[in-house]
Structure 1
C-alpha cells in the first residue's frame, strides 16, 4: 500500500472534497436561503414547510442501513454516482413542483440520494485509505461542505432574487451533475488495493489471505453501550444543527435583520465552520474522538446562549464564531467517534444503523423548531431546548468506550479456554 501522504491518497480526498462541496455545500447547506421564498410562494406554515423538507432525512435514515450494507460489499463509486444522479433529478423536480404532496415526495427521493453519496460511503472511503491521519483526512473532506455553503449561500440568494427559487434549483442541479459525476467516475477508488493490478500472472494466481479489519461485528456492537450512546448523540446533534440551520435566516429576519444580511451571516457561518472541520480531526488524533466530541458538545450548548442574545450584533458575531466552529467539528468527529468505539470492520453497516437516529434528529429538528415558533411566536424556547440537550450529548460522548474494551472480556475468556 502507498503511504498516506502519496498523491493518490490526496487525489481521492480531493474528489471527495469536491463532492461534498457541490452536493452538501451547494445543495443541503443552501436550503435555509430557499426557506422564506418557498414559504411566500405557497403560504404554508413554518411547521408544514419544515416537515416537507424534513422527510428527506426520514428517507435517508430508513435507507442508511441498506447503504451501509452496500458500501461494505460493493464498489463505493457506483453507489455514490447513483446517489448524485438522484440528487440532480430531485432538484430538477423541485423546480417544477406546485403542490405540497409533490414537494414531500420529491424530498423523500432527495433523502435517498443524499445518503447514498455523502456521509456513509464517503467516510468509508476515508477509513479505507487512511489510518494514522484519518482525522485530518476526514476534516479536509468535510470542509468541502462548509466551504461550499459559504460560497453557494450568497450566490443562491442572488440567483433567487434575480431568477426565483425555481431557477436557482435548476442551476444547482446542472452544476452538481456536470461537476460531481465525472470526477467520481474517473478518479474515485474504494480502497488503495483496488487501483493496483498484480505484477505478474504468477502473483495473479497466488492465493491471497483475507483482510482482517479491526472492530466489532454487528451483533457485538448491538450489545455494546457505545452504539446506543452514539445513536443518542447523533439524534441530539443533528436535530440541533438542522433545526437551527433550517431556520437561521428566518430567525434573524424575525428579530429585525434584513434577508440579505441574514443570508450573508449564514454564508459567514459556513465559512467559520470550515475551521472546525479542519481543526477537529487533528485534535481528535491527539486527545481521542470521545474527548473532542464532548468538548464540542458543551461549547455548542454555550453557543445557544449567544444566539439568544443575537439582537446585539456582538452576540451574533460570537455565535457565528463559536457555533460555526462547533458545527464543523461535530460533523467530523461523529464518524471518528464511531471508528474509535466500534471499529472499521462493519463500519458501513454500523454507521447506517446509528445514522437512523441521526437522520431522525435531522428531520425532527426543523419541524420542532418551526412548531415552537408557530405556537409561541419566538425561537427562544427552541434555543433553550437545544442548549439543555447538548449537555446530555456531552455526557453520552464521555460514557462511550473504545471497541477494544468491549471485546476484551471475550478475548480473555477464549485465552483461558
Structure 2
C-alpha cells in the first residue's frame, strides 16, 4: 500500500467479489440472446418481441441504477446488492412462465430495473471508492463481469435450451443466481474506506466548479449523450450475433461459440484498456475505443463467412471493450467523489439505454428489411456521431484548464 493511498489487498478482494457477482447476474439476459429465435418461434411473434425483452433488461438496469445508486449512497452497497440478487432470481422464475407479459415484467422490471440495476451501476461506483492509483484498472476488471458472463454462459445456455427448452433453462439459472450472488454479496461487500485528509483520493474537482468550461450538469449530459450513441452499435452484434449466424446457415451452437469468442476477447482486452486509461485518462480512452468499435462494425458488413465472422467477432471484442470503464473513469476524473453515487449511475443509465436502443433497433430493422445489413449501417452512423461529440469535448479539455488539473 502506497502511503496516503486507500488501496489495499481488501480493495482487490472487493473488486474480485464484484466481478464475480456481475458475471453471474449478467448471464440472465443472455438467455434471451441465445434463445431469441426459440422464444420468437414459441410465441408466434416476430423477433421484435424478444428483442424488446432484451432491450428492457438493459434500459431497466440503467434506470434502476440511478435509483439504486441513490439508495446505496444512503444505506449500503451490501443491502442493495442483496436486493438485486433476489430480484434477478425472481425475475427469471417469473419469465420462465412463458407468457409475453411474464417475459416483459420478469426481465424489464425485475432482472433489469430492480436486479442488475441494483448491481451494475452501484457496484461500479462502490468499487471506484476503494481505489485512487489504479482506478481505471479496477473499473475495467469489474465492468468485465458482462464479458465473463458472455464467455462462460452462452454455450451452456445453448445446451440447456436444446435439452430442456428456454423456460426450464431460465428457472434453472435462477437457482445459480441465488446460490452465488446472495452469499457473496452478504459476505464480501463492506463499507468503502474514507480517504485520509490530504491524500490523493481526498483531492479532486471542486463541487459546483465548471467542467470542460461548462456547468457541471451540462457537461455530464453531453458525456452521457455520447455514451448513449456509442452504446447503440455496441449492443447490436452482442444481442443479435447468434440469430445473425442462424440466418447465414451457421448453427446456433457455433453462433453461441462465436458470441463467447467476442466476449472473451472483450474481457481480455478490457484489462489492457484499463491499464491504458490509467495513463491517458478516461476521455481519451473512450475516443480510442470508439474508433476501434466503428472499424469493427464496418467489418461485420464485409464478411458473412463462418471463419471470417469468428475473426471479426474477436477483433470487435478487442476494440470496443474499453469504452464503458473509460466513461466511468472520466466521470470520476471530472467530478467530485462525493457526487459519484448519482453521476456514475446517471451516465450508465444513458449507456445502458443506448444498448437497449441498439438491441431493439437491430430487431426492428431486421423485421423491416429482412436482414441485418441496414442495422449495422445505422450502428456505424451512431458511432460516428458519438466520436464527433467526444472529440469536441476533448478539444475543450485541451484549451481550458479542467477542475481535475487545477487540483
1:228 pairs with 2:221: yes
Range 56-65 or range 283-292, more displaced:
56-65
* Residue of structure 1 in register with 2:103 after alignment: 103
* 1:335 CA drift (Å): 1.1
2:61·2:120 contact (CA, 8 Å) conserved in 1?
A: no
Range 260-269 or range 345-354, more displaced:
345-354
Distance change (3 Å), C-alpha of 1:289 and 1:218: same
Give TM-score, length-normalised by structure 2: 0.88
* 1:307 CA drift (Å): 0.7
Distance change (3 Å), C-alpha of 1:65 and 1:288: same
1:131 pairs with 2:121: no
How far apart in 1 are the matches of 2:144 and 2:239?
Answer: 19
2:292·2:320 contact (CA, 8 Å) conserved in 1?
A: no
1:288 pairs with 2:290: no
Distance change (3 Å), C-alpha of 1:111 and 1:33: same
How far apart in 2 are the matches of 1:178 and 1:213?
Answer: 40
How far apart in 2 are the matches of 1:181 and 1:218?
Answer: 38
1:21·1:147 contact (CA, 8 Å) conserved in 2?
A: yes
1:367 pairs with 2:360: yes
* 1:23 CA drift (Å): 0.8
* Residue of structure 1 in register with 2:118 after alignment: 117
How many residues matched?
393
DSSP 3-state at the match of 2:153: helix
1:59·1:111 contact (CA, 8 Å) conserved in 2?
A: yes
2:282·2:328 contact (CA, 8 Å) conserved in 1?
A: no
How far apart in 2 are the matches of 1:314 and 1:169?
Answer: 31
* 1:291 CA drift (Å): 1.3
Distance change (3 Å), C-alpha of 1:116 and 1:80: farther
Gaps of 5+ in 2: 196-200
Distance change (3 Å), C-alpha of 1:21 and 1:230: same
How far apart in 2 are the matches of 1:342 and 1:370?
Answer: 37
2:125·2:341 contact (CA, 8 Å) conserved in 1?
A: yes
Query: Alpha-carbon deviations, 1:122-155, whole Å to 9, x = none?
Result: 1112211101111111122223321222111101
Give TM-score, length-normalised by structure 1: 0.86
* Residue of structure 1 in register with 2:251 after alignment: 258
How far apart in 2 are the matches of 1:241 and 1:31?
Answer: 17
Q: CA RMSD, aligned part only?
A: 2.7
Gaps of 5+ in 1: 195-210, 413-417
Distance change (3 Å), C-alpha of 1:349 and 1:160: same
Query: Alpha-carbon deviations, 1:25-61, whole Å to 9, x = none?
Result: x223443112111112112111222123322334334
* Residue of structure 2 in register with 1:202 after alignment: none
* Residue of structure 2 in register with 1:161 after alignment: 162
* Residue of structure 2 in register with 1:311 after alignment: 304
1:60·1:359 contact (CA, 8 Å) conserved in 2?
A: yes
1:294·1:395 contact (CA, 8 Å) conserved in 2?
A: no
How far apart in 1 are the matches of 2:37 and 2:209?
Answer: 45
DSSP 3-state at the match of 1:190: coil
How far apart in 2 are the matches of 1:62 and 1:124?
Answer: 15
Range 306-315 or range 174-183, more displaced:
306-315
* 1:11 CA drift (Å): 1.3
Structure ID, larger Rg: 1
1:60·1:114 contact (CA, 8 Å) conserved in 2?
A: yes
How far apart in 2 are the matches of 1:327 and 1:254?
Answer: 25
* Residue of structure 1 in register with 2:51 after alignment: 50
* 1:95 CA drift (Å): 1.0
Query: Alpha-carbon deviations, 1:159-206, whole Å to 9, x = none?
Result: 111111111111211111111111111111130259xxxxxxxxxxxx
Among 190, 193, 214, the residue aligned to 2:204: 214
DSSP 3-state at the match of 2:338: coil
* 1:249 CA drift (Å): 0.7
* Residue of structure 2 in register with 1:145 after alignment: 146
* 1:314 CA drift (Å): 4.7
